Chain A
């Protein structure tokens, strides 16, 4: 349980983690946010991430792996720079969620949980993202796009292709 002498994270992220562990009655409460923020920076939960997070929290690497395998947003392989998450749950399905998913598959040439060869995009069919009244909805990383049509979807993809898309971190 300590701040490591050398860190794999940026100074900002490392400083954030130093603070994060002090916020709660127990240090371990920082684990899930720490993993997610680590993933935001590294792209996925690598072995190095597991190692440093375990050290920072003061638990074993196995403990970390046990937790990370439970949460669907945490991944142990890289995704695309822009991970397109298409909701196909009931409210979105009724308003064309599957059509949006199919459209993305064709436009990007990839399927569920696949990454484009240039590493720019990945695609995922996801469960309800809490935007049901504005269906069909998707997220690109953490940003929401709603009331989509195939045409609007194309415009969203174009924004990211040309580097103008939103990037909430």
Chain B
């Protein structure tokens, strides 16, 4: 069972019910469960979208797109049914926050799905969990069944005259399926190869109908926003970054865990105070701030606020909120190799810059790490990665290239040391190829 952590600086909104037994519907109702849904039914779509816009909530899946705005793009009139699709594929290395939501607060996901449906005029929602999350899928399935049994789902929910169905779905192992258009393909029973955009899912999505796709944390936040009000929620965060977020702090810290911090919270404080600093009193070498695809920061760069805009200004991204802390005894070349090995493994192979680029990057970085590199390898790594950027069919290509560029730009001397015949002072792993 994943360990829950706590720190006084946390503002517990999404994680409020963690560890309280809220997977049980009666307990959930005691803890203000399904009040937001009833409020939403009473007040209607325009009110929901206005509150969501006021909240400043930005998507927690990685890109940080404003949720209220996303919902407002869905056409009011549509010949085809509209859908809500909850993205619980959670596969970006460093990210394990949705795991806790499904485990501790499954009904919040259901409520958020219903409310999103009410906002856009959908009658059906899908909650897609990665295949590895079977025990969490079972918790979600039970929650859905319990909600049906009470009339919170199905025909005429809460006696409102509105119908809403929720179906849970399992994946079967694929990072790329987390990309929203690949996710729709997967849910339609196909290979997870992304779709061309436009049209955007809000117009032509699942089964050809207008579709809102949101991350599980985004969706689980929605009922809290409606209950506390959009504006008060926005005030908790920083400018244009409303509310709180679940930050997973992993790697070489004393107290790894998932902490709910206000948007804009200082990254350095998050590492040194919230997570207890670098393990064993060691020095800090680097921080990957938002999941494996976000460019690395050096220790002197971490005095920065954790929100989408401030991280962008610092030359990286807030991403999935998975902060990976790396101590001074770690080989960055090895870390870069493990990162690119992942993207090479997960590339769906559809477009050449990503399929070939990730493969060559892995080979070249692998050679450098093994001590068999040549001088021009470093420029080649950079050249390859730069030429993948913006030239791939979906953002996975960028997600592979960006961190690589970060490692080679910010830790070039470590790559050079490997070339100059110095044995890697840190590496402990003989062969390192990834899964």
Q: Give the B-binding residues of A (Cβ under 8 A).
A: 23-26, 28-33, 35-36, 57, 66-67, 70-74, 88-91, 93-95, 98, 124-135, 139, 142-144, 146-147, 168-169
Contacts and interface: CB of A to CB of B under 8 A. Distances in A.
A30 B126 CA distance: 13
A125 B435 contact: yes
Contact of A130 (B90, B124, B186, B188): B90
Given A91-B251, A168-B135, A127 B93 contact: yes
Interface of B: 2-3, 81, 90-96, 98-99, 124, 130-135, 138, 167, 169-175, 186-192, 207, 248-252, 256-258, 288, 292, 322, 324, 326-327, 330, 335, 338-339, 342, 345-346, 348, 428-429, 432, 434-435
Nearest to A87: B435
A131 B251 contact: no
Contact of B326 (A26, A94, A144): A94
Contacts of B324: 90-91, 94, 132
Contacts of A128: 91-95, 292, 342
Contact of B434 (A26, A66, A127): A127
Contact of A29 (B189, B257, B288): B189
B248 A133 contact: yes
A74 to B, nearest CB: 5
B207 A133 contact: no
A133 B246 CA distance: 12
B131 A73 contact: yes
B135 A144 contact: yes
Most buried by A among B135, B249, B326: B135
A130 B134 contact: no
A33 B170 contact: yes
Contact of A132 (B3, B81, B94, B189): B94
Given A57-B189, A70-B174, A91-B324, A127 B91 contact: yes
Contacts, number: 165
A28 B190 CA distance: 8
Contacts of A72: 172-174, 435
B316 to A, nearest CB: 15
Contacts of A139: 132
Contacts of A144: 2, 135
B172 A24 contact: no
A16 to B, nearest CB: 12
Contacts of A91: 93-94, 250-251, 322, 324
A124 B434 CA distance: 11
A125 B189 CA distance: 26
B93 A90 contact: yes
B345 A127 contact: yes
Given A36-B170, A89-B342, A127-B93, A31 B189 contact: yes
Given A32-B189, A94-B252, A74 B335 contact: no
A40 to B, nearest CB: 9
A30 B170 CA distance: 10
A147 B3 CA distance: 9
A30 B322 CA distance: 32
